[in-house]
Amino acid sequence: MIIKHRQEQSEIIILRSLNVRMSLSDKEITNYLSLKKGYEGEQKSDVWLEGLSEDWLIIHDLLLEYNNSKFQIDTLLILQDTIYPII
C-alpha cells in the first residue's frame, strides 16, 4: 500500500518551463537533464513496486533531518519487522 505518492520536483518543472522560454546555461541544462533522468528512473521503480502485496507500506520522497542535516530517502519499504530504505 502506498502511503505517500511521488511528485515531480518543482525544480524540474521550473527548469523545463525555462528551457522552452530561454537559453539555459550548460550547467543548468546538465542539472535539468540529471534531475529529469533521476525522476524517470524513480518512476520506473515505482511501477515495479506496484506489484508488491498489500502487506508492504511504501513511502516515496521522505525528507528527514538529523543533527541539523537534511537528507532524502527516495523510497522507504516497510514490511512487518523490516525496513528497506532505497536512496
Per-residue pLDDT tens digits for 18-73: 988 998 999 999 999 999 999 999 888 888 888 887 889 999 888 899 999 999 89
Res 53: pLDDT: 76
Of residues 4 and 24, more confidently modeled = 24
Strand order from edge to edge, sheet including 57-66: 2-4, 57-66, 69-79, 82-86
What the block records as the C-alpha cell of 76 is 522507504
What the block records as the C-alpha cell of 35 is 534531475
Q: Residue 14: phi, psi to the nearest 5? A: -65, -50
Res 16: pLDDT: 92
What's the whole-model pTM score? Answer: 0.71
Res 47: pLDDT: 86
Length of the chain: 87
Rounded to 5°, angle at Cα 62 from 72 and 29: 50
Enter the DSSP assignment of 39.
H
